[in-house]
């Protein structure tokens, strides 16, 4: 039953016109909810959560750093999936999604790196270490930028979408291998005992704002994707009847 | 509130510059990115309207 | 075209353009030589950075050479002809990659031990360097070819190609240089070498499919 509904959704959202109407209906309430959840999570983490036993107050950066990093990773995998869908089924919406996801995902990867660096200074004494996770995130940022550069370089939007999709599929395979390889390499050069978070189990007062912030950032991501997808759709379909009707 | 006063909150036990710069830069980047997305939507709509008007009036 | 026919064609074309073989090799040697000059001639320091230096130089040499993999055929129209034929592209692409390795990769593999020696790499590590580069160059050519197939029709293709492919090269570089460092320290290497071999087999068998798809996308098929 659920499977059937999901399949129906998938096919419906594959139509540009339906997607546009869907985004029109969803955005007005998604946008404020996303902002609200993010704000609640961040304010909670900043002002109400207790101090960390080892790191003091600097650990509060985690409420941005972890959501940004995980969302960037999810975004990249989504681009890979969209790329695969596009290569196999040549779905127009998949191309649009690739173009819509990449910019925000890249910004989140950059934020993860910047906040990680700022967090590193009071914690490890230096802004940058070739920590396995930081290095993997740096590579992922480059992969994002590569996709955006490729889309920008190809003038035909359909060709650009397909090329970016292929690159994304190859890149997703690479992301998995990079993570493993950099961890191994980092352990080769392990001179210091560095841990990104000291705690393996987070107390609830810290975990809940973290989860809220993550949810909020994911929702903001969705909002940005919908906005960009709408703009891209309108432009691609500008000559079609349903767009003309809209105006 | 975990902190005793607003000043304590802003100082974050001398980790203030780190925490606030991290949050500030992130907020700036996210806001800019979202603003661009919103603007692109507006630009596209205006462009399409312009094209439609030209088609109707001219050719 | 069949495998052997394509292979013969590629080798024959390269024979008429020896620069294709010599330039990457020369680049490899020159870049490696720059490091003692730019960093320090101290043997211990050189021995420490040798694995990475040789690998990065080889990586860059392959990257440069891969840009021209399809460009000549694209410009001359031969690529379009090949794509318009109703045949599977996998075999001709595979042949092209093999040819490219024979012309570009193999010389690097043969010269790498010499460069390792010049950088004071301990002899235990030089053999491993040879095997690692032997396994790594096909991987890099295969991955580079995917990038080349996507950028062949673009004017600024070369720069963009580097941007696209370099992040994808990180695993080969990390494991390839890492295993040589391991060997220099006397640690066991068979595991990582097996991993490099796996990466080579996987990339070389799967890449032609991706390359074929990329070529079709680039020429608008």
What is the ipTM metric for this complex?
A: 0.85
What CA–CA distances, in Å, run from C132 to A110, A214, C106, C127? 33, 42, 12, 9
| A179 part of a folded domain | yes
Domain ranges of chain B: 25-59
Q: Which residues of A touch B2 (CB under 8 A)?
A: 47-51
**Per-residue model confidence as pLDDT tens digits over A107-158:** 999 999 999 889 888 887 888 877 777 888 898 999 999 999 999 888 888 8
A56 forms beta bridges with A52
The pLDDT score that the predictor gives to residue B59 is 59
- List phi, psi (to 5°) of A52: -85, 140
Q: A170 with C149: CB under 8 angstroms?
A: no
Structural domain tally of chain C? 1
Q: Which domain covers residue A237, as residue numbers? A: 65-189+203-247
**Per-residue model confidence as pLDDT tens digits over C157-172:** 788 999 999 999 999 9
Nearest to A231 among B13, B30, B40 (CB): B40
The pLDDT score that the predictor gives to residue A197 is 47
Q: A111 with A141: CB under 8 angstroms?
A: no
The pLDDT score that the predictor gives to residue B27 is 94
Q: Which domain covers residue C113, as residue numbers? A: 3-218
Q: How far apart are CA A215 and CA A34, in angstroms?
A: 8
Query: In angstroms, what separates the C-alpha of B36 from chain A's closest C-alpha?
Result: 9
Query: In angstroms, what separates the C-alpha of B59 from chain A's closest C-alpha?
Result: 15
For residue A204, which of A212, A196, A193 has the smallest C-alpha distance?
A212
Q: Which two tokens stand for residue B58?
A: 């001219």
The pLDDT score that the predictor gives to residue A98 is 94
Q: CB neighbours of A117 closer than 8 A, spacing ≥ 6?
A: A127, A128, A134
Nearest to A153 among C143, C160, C213 (CB): C160
Q: How far apart are CA B9 and CA A185, in angstroms?
A: 40
Residue with tokens 């304010």: A43
- List phi, psi (to 5°) of A56: 70, -140
- List phi, psi (to 5°) of A226: -60, -45
B2 and A51: CB-CB below 8 Å? Answer: yes
Nearest to C220 among A149, A159, A188 (CB): A159
C81: how many CB neighbours lie within 10 A of its CB?
A: 10
Query: In angstroms, what separates the C-alpha of C22 from chain A's closest C-alpha?
Result: 30
CA angle at A103 for the pair A99 and A107, rounded to the nearest 5°: 160
Structural domain tally of chain A? 1
A177 and C171: CB-CB below 8 Å? Answer: yes
A166 and C174: CB-CB below 8 Å? Answer: no
Q: How far apart are CA B16 and CA B18, in angstroms?
A: 5
The pLDDT score that the predictor gives to residue A195 is 46
Q: How far apart are CA C62 and CA C27, in angstroms?
A: 10
**Per-residue model confidence as pLDDT tens digits over C18-67:** 887 889 999 999 999 999 989 988 999 999 999 999 999 999 999 999 98
Q: Which two tokens stand for residue A201?
A: 């189990």
Q: How confident is the model at residue C1 (pLDDT cuts 50, 70, 90)?
A: low
A60 and B12: CB-CB below 8 Å? Answer: yes
| A73 part of a folded domain | yes
The answer to whether the predicted template modeling score (pTM) of the entire model surpasses 0.80 is: yes
What region, left, alpha or beta, does residue A193 occupy, with left being phi > 0 and alpha being psi -120 to 50 degrees? beta
Measured between its terminal Cα atoms, the distance across chain A in Å is 38
Q: A96 with A79: CB under 8 angstroms?
A: no
Q: B37 with A103: CB under 8 angstroms?
A: yes
Q: Which residues of C touch A178 (CB under 8 A)?
A: 167, 170-171
Asked if A154 reaches chain C (Cβ–Cβ under 8 Å), the answer is yes
Q: C124 with C63: CB under 8 angstroms?
A: no
Q: Which residues of chain A approach chain B closer than 8 Å at the C-beta?
A: 42, 46-51, 56-58, 60-61, 64-65, 68, 103-104, 107, 110-111, 114-115, 118-119, 121-122, 220, 223-224, 227-228, 230-231, 234-235, 238, 243-244, 247
| A34 part of a folded domain | no
Q: pLDDT under 50 in chain A at which residues?
A: 191-199
| A198 part of a folded domain | no
Q: A145 with A106: CB under 8 angstroms?
A: yes
B13 CA to centre of own chain = 29
C214 and A174: CB-CB below 8 Å? Answer: no
Q: CB neighbours of C31 closer than 8 A, spacing ≥ 6?
A: C56, C57, C60, C61
The pLDDT score that the predictor gives to residue A190 is 53
């Amino acid at each position: 039953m659920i499977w059937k509904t999901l399949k129906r959704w998938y096919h419906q959202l594959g139509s540009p016109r339906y997607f546009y109407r869907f985004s029109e209906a969803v955005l007005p309430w998604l946008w404020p909810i996303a902002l609200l959840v993010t704000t609640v999570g961040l304010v909670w983490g900043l002002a109400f959560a207790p101090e960390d036993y080892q790191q003091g107050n600097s650990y509060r950066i985690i409420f941005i750093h972890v959501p940004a990093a995980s969302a960037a990773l999810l975004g990249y995998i989504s681009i890979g999936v969209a790329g695969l869908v596009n290569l196999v089924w040549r779905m127009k919406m998949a191309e649009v999604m690739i173009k819509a996801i990449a910019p925000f995902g890249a910004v989140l990867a950059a934020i993860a790196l910047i906040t990680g660096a700022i967090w590193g200074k009071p914690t490890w004494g230096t802004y940058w270490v070739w920590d396995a996770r930081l290095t993997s995130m740096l590579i992922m940022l480059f992969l994002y930028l590569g996709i955006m550069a490729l889309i920008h370089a190809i003038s035909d939007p359909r060709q650009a979408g397909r090329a970016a999709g292929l690159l994304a599929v190859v890149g997703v395979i690479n992301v998995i291998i990079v993570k493993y390889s950099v961890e191994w390499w980092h352990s080769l050069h392990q001179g210091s005992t560095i841990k990104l978070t000291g705690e393996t189990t987070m107390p609830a007062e810290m975990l809940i704002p973290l989860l809220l912030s993550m949810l909020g950032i994911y929702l903001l991501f969705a909002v940005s994707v919908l906005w960009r997808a709408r703009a891209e759709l309108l432009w691609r379909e500008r000559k079609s009847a349903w767009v003309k009707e809209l105006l | 509130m975990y902190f005793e006063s607003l000043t304590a909150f802003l100082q974050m036990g001398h980790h203030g510059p780190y925490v606030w710069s991290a949050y500030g830069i992130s907020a700036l980047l996210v806001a800019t990115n979202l603003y661009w997305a919103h603007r692109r939507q507006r630009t596209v709509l205006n462009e399409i309207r312009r094209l439609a008007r030209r088609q109707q009036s001219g050719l | 075209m069949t495998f052997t026919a394509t292979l013969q064609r590629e080798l024959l074309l390269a024979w008429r353009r020896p620069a294709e073989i010599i330039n990457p090799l020369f680049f490899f040697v020159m870049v490696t030589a720059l490091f003692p000059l730019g960093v320090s001639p101290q043997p211990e320091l050189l021995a420490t950075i040798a694995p990475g230096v040789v690998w990065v130089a080889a990586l860059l040499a392959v990257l440069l050479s891969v840009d021209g993999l399809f460009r000549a055929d694209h410009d001359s129209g031969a690529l379009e002809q090949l794509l318009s034929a109703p045949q599977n592209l996998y075999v001709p692409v595979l042949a092209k990659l093999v040819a490219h390795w024979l012309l570009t990769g193999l010389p690097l593999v043969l010269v790498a031990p010499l460069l390792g020696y010049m950088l004071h790499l301990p002899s235990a590590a030089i053999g491993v360097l040879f095997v690692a580069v032997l396994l790594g160059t096909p991987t890099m050519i295969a991955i580079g070819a995917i990038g080349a197939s996507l950028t062949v029709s673009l004017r600024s293709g070369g720069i963009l190609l580097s941007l696209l492919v370099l992040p994808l090269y990180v695993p080969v570089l990390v494991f390839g240089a890492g295993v040589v460092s391991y060997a220099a320290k006397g640690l066991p290497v068979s595991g990582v070498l097996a991993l490099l071999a796996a990466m080579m087999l996987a990339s070389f068998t799967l890449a032609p499919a991706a390359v074929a798809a990329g070529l079709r996308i680039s020429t608008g098929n």
